Amino acid sequence: MGLSGQITFADIENADCKINPKPKWLIVSQRKLWCPYCNWVKSFKKDKYLGVKKCEACGITINDYYVKKYNELELFGVRAYNKNRRNGDCKY
């Protein structure tokens, strides 16, 4: 635990990185996702031409690896754990 406003090693480690991980303390509403490129919670709207959801600000799609990773979406064709399923079954 650090003091308020104190720089941590994680801040220094990700200083040169354009992709920012989602803070562990951040709670995201159901209709929004963490955009690792904008470094903020954004709404992803469906693009009619491409047929995928895109960030309204930067235009990155939900098919991007880091968007999936930090929002715990489907990675490599395997769905993330769904809490609403009975017995914790995961349908692939």
State pLDDT tens for residues 16-49: 557 878 888 888 888 889 899 888 899 999 989 8
Rounded distance, CA 66 to CA 21, Å? 8
* Residue 42 maps to a domain: yes
* Residue 6 maps to a domain: no
User: Is the pLDDT reported for residue 83 higher than 60?
Assistant: no
- Domain holding 27, by residue range, is 12-75
* Residue 92 maps to a domain: no
* Residue 45 maps to a domain: yes
Q: What is the mean pLDDT of residues 64-70?
A: 88
Average pLDDT, the chain: 75
* Residue 1 maps to a domain: no
| pLDDT in the model for residue 72 | 82
pTM of the complete model: 0.61
User: Is the pLDDT reported for residue 14 higher than 70?
Assistant: no
